[in-house]
Amino acid sequence: MASGKEDKAKGAANKAAGKVKEAAGKTTDSSKTEAKGKAQQAKGELQKGKGDAKGSQKKQR
């Protein structure tokens, strides 16, 4: 199981990659690539949230 820090790092990476994909989709006028980029950014947000939750649980113990 990944730690909170790992989830945050993976989330940040997914958000960054998603932004690049979204920009590439806009540049090439590919709505499919743009949508994939937005979806990857959303995945990154969820991972970051998961990492934040793990971190706050650890602090409460």
User: Length of the chain, please?
Assistant: 61
What is the reported pLDDT for 61?
64
What is the reported pLDDT for 57?
78
Q: What is the pLDDT of residues 2-53, one digit of tens each?
A: 788 999 999 999 999 999 999 999 999 999 999 999 999 999 999 999 999 9
